[in-house]
Each structure stands twice: as C-alpha cells, then as structure tokens.
Structure 1
Amino acid sequence: MTSICESNTNQENFSLCVAKQLFSLEKSDNIVFSPLSLQVVLSIIAAGSKGPTQQQILDFLDFKSINHVNLFVSQLVSIILKDAAPAGGLAFL
C-alpha cells in the first residue's frame, strides 16, 4: 500500500518534471501553473482509460497502478476536507 510520504514524493517528482519542461520551453519568466491540478486531471484520465494509454499516464505520474492513483486522490480529498464545515466547503490551510 502506498503511504502518504510516497504519494508526496510522487507529487514532488511530477511537479519538478513539469516545471523543468515548462521553463525549458517558455521564454517568459512569468509562468504560473498548478502541478496538483495537472496531476489530479491526469489521474482522472488514467482512471477512465485502459491498456497502453492508462499505463503511459501511470508511468508519467510515477504511480505503480490505478489503485495507487485512487489512494493518492483519496488522501488528497481527506486532507482538503479535513476541517470542512458540516454544511460543506473546503478547509483553509
């Protein structure tokens, strides 16, 4: 089972990989992106895909299986909603 530390390491590696790629291609110093948003969107795409496409996305995200993706997203949701109001809403970190 993937630990929260391993998920954090995967997220950090993914973030650095994307940042290096963006900064190597873009000539501007003003770049804003959300690696977490990209990782979540690609995780959703991976969950809905099969075969070689799913495996390529998992390899890019550095997850061993779709179960690891599900665990990462589950941990992410529990952290974001940890202190949420009973009526709903996000926790302010």
Structure 2
Amino acid sequence: MSVTANSVWKNCLAFIQDNIQPQAFKTWFEPIKPVKLSDNALSIQVPSKFFYEWLEEHYVKLLKVALTKELGENAKLVYIIKMENTYGNREPFTEQ
C-alpha cells in the first residue's frame, strides 16, 4: 500500500482517538480533512482559524507524537484554514 495523506491521517487519528475523550475527538479531529502529503509534511484542512488555534494550544504535542510515529522525526504538519464567507465564490478561500 502506498503512503498517502489519507492513510497517514487515518493512522494518526487511530492513535489520537486512543489518547483523548470521545467527545473531544469528535469535536476537534473528525472535521479535519487530509489534503496532501509531500516530503514528510502532511497538509490538513481545518474549518477555521479558531479551530487551528485550539488545536495548537491543546493538542499540539499529541499531533506531533502521532505524526512522528507515522512519518519519522522530520515530520511536519501544515494547516490549511478554510475561510468562511467567500463572497459568492464557489471554491472556499484557504490560507496556509
């Protein structure tokens, strides 16, 4: 099986789910979408800037451990923030 953003994120989620409360997992990890994987960097899309800040404040260590388990010591996590209110654009505006 080739390593993809989806497979890496799925394995990270399995590890994270074992380490936090079910409600926290549902709230903070289920809405995240893996976007791409390149050079040990996993890009994930989060619903808002607040969401990103909450993850960084409360779950950064857990995310790092999960990602390091999957991708090794040089693993990186890139957030793509889906912006709300796109003024009629079909594609949501994203910020990296």
Q: TM-score, normalised by structure 2?
A: 0.35
Of structures 1 and 2, the larger Rg is shown by 1
Relative to its length, the structure with more helix (as a share) is 1
Relative to its length, the structure with more strand (as a share) is 2
